[in-house]
Amino acid sequence: MAKKIKISINGVSVEIDQDTTILDAARQTGVIIPTLCYHKDLCVAGNCRVCIVEIMGQKRLTAACATPCEEGMDILTNSLKVRNSRKHIIELLLSEHNADCTRCYKNGNCELQKLASEYKIMTQDFIRLVPFKNYTIDQFSPSIIKDDSKCIRCQRCVRTCAELQGVNALTVAHKGDQMKITTFFEKAMNDVVCTNCGQCINHCPTGALVEKNYIEEVWDAIADKTKHVIVQTAPAVRVGLGEELGFGPGVRVTGKMVAALKRLGFDAVMDTDFTADLTIMEEGTELLTRLKRKMVDHDPDVKFPMATSCSPGWIKYIEHMYPDYLDHLSTCKSPQQMFGALAKTYYAKARNLDPETIVSVSIMPCTAKKFEANRPEMHDSGYRDVDYVLTTRELAIMIKQAGIDFMRLGDVHYDRLMGESTGAGVIFGATGGVMEAALRTAYELVTGRDVPFDNLNITPVRGMEGVKEATVKIENPLKEWTFLEGVELKCAVAHGLVNAHKVMESIISGESNYQFIEFMACPGGCLGGGGQPIPTNPEIRRKRAEAIYAEDEGMPLRKSHQNPEIIKIYKDFLDHPLSEKSHHLLHTHYSPRDRF
Amino acid sequence: MLFNSSRSMFNVLDNYLEFFREESCGQCTPCRVGCQQLLKGIKAVKRGEKNAQYLDKLLRLTETMQYTAKCGLGQSVANSFSSIVENFREEMIY
């Protein structure tokens, strides 16, 4: 038990744990202190100074986020001195900010706007500084738009990129009035070591960092009668979308989302979970094939550990940082791109459509998916496999624009052919999900029995710890797999690129001897993705994860190989996992990239 | 600090603020933006673009900077600013 100390906040005596910051102590006692540079995911910076409070007996004000409480402190959060200073600081920030709110993408979800509204800053007494600065908008990245004129220098993006992702694409340059957040040599975002993960967008309090949106393009496609517009929805979208449309965090809105997509005018609404199941079939088989090549054929070229390839942020990260390790990646495309390639081949054939007329849209919790869809190798269908990628947030905008009362929608089921999924596909949205789904299928493929965990729940790979490990011992395999008898399959799961870095370093140093590793670029996996509703914080991620696992538990089928549409696609189209056709459509290759 | 009577106190303050604006590390809001506002502010008053009362607003701003800036640099801007503006107010305006 932590030692308790007594303090007073606005005249009310409270007892709190020692080492609690003034900010947390206030929140615990129901007093809200505004913040801008503070974020629960990040280390404390204390640079915006909006959270200042008065400690009786001290002349200067104190940043509540950066100061621990001390015994006997008498704290005022709303004295005249605090209020006047805070108002000044908000006014200063606004003077340096392009406050053209009605034309801003973040209008309505901006922390600075909210503060200005709370403090009723109605006048512009200070001199507007924006016209004196040579601000430019960087729109070169397919995923991220960076508008310095809206930046308040809170450095949340910088800390995100360094602490959560270890990428350091964004950094602080210059000092004084020239101080700004920029990139290596001030290059454009598409030209630097950026994984497009979008965590900076998710952590930006203003409109300085936003996703490149493709909303109008999708509306145009829907309105075009000559086009057949199909849409896929990623696993994590169903547990995030509700937050943008009036629900609290962790509410599953799968059926309502499908209903809304149909009302928006999409010709077919199908599920990325289906291709998640397909990924498991391909990736699981790939893992077992690699094991066989190593243990039976003693092939020196086969690389272990095998790493998952679903997260495009992680893919770009390894291409930049560990180009010598690209052979370790599974050759499987991500579920989004598998869906895209099948949409213009398998789906087109089954529905008797000209693939030329199909517009393939995906709804993703992710901004790196926009980059992935743009990769030159993603044209295996003969066309661009995925035409437009929208984030969860963009879908919410479309639903609001269409005037759909989301709360009152009934549940609708996905369309057939590529709309059926299992619980294994759903948990792709959480960290550890791909691993769990792969183990459920691979273990059964090898032994003919369920994976030896209670109710298929492989709990060691769940949860929010940065690096998780699990070992599965294979016993009594089927005849074909006898070489695996007694083999301990060592698995690891890493989420957040800073954790991916740790695992990669442990592989390089020879400290670890894993066979299979799941890497996800974003903290918490896709449910904490850069395209998910803002705010995202540890508590919200936990709630979304609970929702994902609840969705899995509620599914009648929970193993990818049981999915009837998966069985059908192998029977009618792909023959078997790793067949020539699947190699052509569902697998890809990676390219080394520079470190600078 | 001593200056002889031939010195323009406006120029002295301008020089000080130029220094602070440039030497501010830029991290905390009151110092980074405050210094820019003070420098632009006294120039605007001198040019007649802002009225003399704007100096009082700037004085209150330096008070906020003193209370809230992260380090001694931002906190100390108030000293030179208030000393010059309060004692040589007419030089700031005309």
From the candidates A309, A311, A330, A362, which is the catalytic residue? Answer: A330
Active site residue A244: no
Question: For residue A533, what pLDDT is reported?
Answer: 98
Residue A332 carries which DSSP code?
B
Give the sheet arrangement for strand A228-233, strand by strand.
Answer: A268-271, A228-233, A358-364, A388-391
Please name the residue that has the structure tokens 């390790």: A325
Query: For chain B, which ranges sit under pLDDT 50?
Result: none
Question: For residue A89, what pLDDT is reported?
Answer: 98
Question: For residue A224, what pLDDT is reported?
Answer: 98
Burial (Cβ within 10 Å: 0-12, 13-18, ≥19) of residue A217 = middle
> B30 contacts in A (CB within 8 Å)?
49, 88-89, 92
Question: For residue A78, what pLDDT is reported?
Answer: 96
Beta-strand runs (E) in A95-143 = 137-138
> What 3-state DSSP class applies to B91?
helix
Residue A316 token pair: 């770009």
Are residues B68 and A179, on separate chains, in Cβ contact within 8 Å? no
Active site residue A509: no
* Nearest residue in chain B measured CA to CA from A80: B64
> A93 contacts in B (CB within 8 Å)?
29, 33
Q: Which residue among A93, A172, A177 places its CB closest to the CB of B29?
A: A93
Question: For residue B2, what pLDDT is reported?
Answer: 87
Question: For residue B21, what pLDDT is reported?
Answer: 96
Question: For residue A2, what pLDDT is reported?
Answer: 83
Burial (Cβ within 10 Å: 0-12, 13-18, ≥19) of residue A29 = middle
Please name the residue that has the structure tokens 């007649």: B48
C-alpha A284/C-alpha A282 separation (Å) is 6
Are residues B70 and A49, on separate chains, in Cβ contact within 8 Å? yes
B33 and A CB contact within 8 Å: yes
- For chain B, how big is the Rg over CA atoms in Å? 12
A58 and B CB contact within 8 Å: no
Domain borders along chain B are: 30-93
C-alpha B15/C-alpha A439 separation (Å) is 69
Helix ranges, A208-269 (H) = 215-223, 241-244, 254-264
C-alpha A454/C-alpha A413 separation (Å) is 29
Helix ranges, A303-378 (H) = 312-321, 335-342, 348-350, 368-373
Are residues A60 and B60, on separate chains, in Cβ contact within 8 Å? no
Active site residue A283: yes
Question: For residue A173, what pLDDT is reported?
Answer: 96
Are residues A176 and B24, on separate chains, in Cβ contact within 8 Å? yes
C-alpha A103/C-alpha A120 separation (Å) is 20
Query: For chain A, which ranges sit under pLDDT 50?
Result: none
C-alpha A31/C-alpha A513 separation (Å) is 50
Per-residue DSSP letters for B67-87?
HH-SSHHHHHHHHHHHHHHHH
Distance from A440 to chain B by nearest Cα, in Å?
50
B32 and A CB contact within 8 Å: yes
From the candidates A526, A551, A565, A582, which is the catalytic residue? Answer: A526
> What 3-state DSSP class applies to A270?
strand
Q: Report all structural domains of chain A as residue ranges with CATH numbers, in order of start.
A: 4-92 (3.10.20.740), 126-210 (3.30.70.20), 215-274+336-408 (3.40.50.1780), 277-335+421-586 (3.40.950.10)
Helix ranges, B1-94 (H) = 9-23, 29-46, 54-68, 72-87, 89-93
Helices and strands per DSSP (H, E), number in chain A: 20, 18
Question: For residue A217, what pLDDT is reported?
Answer: 98
B30 and A CB contact within 8 Å: yes
Distance from A401 to chain B by nearest Cα, in Å?
36
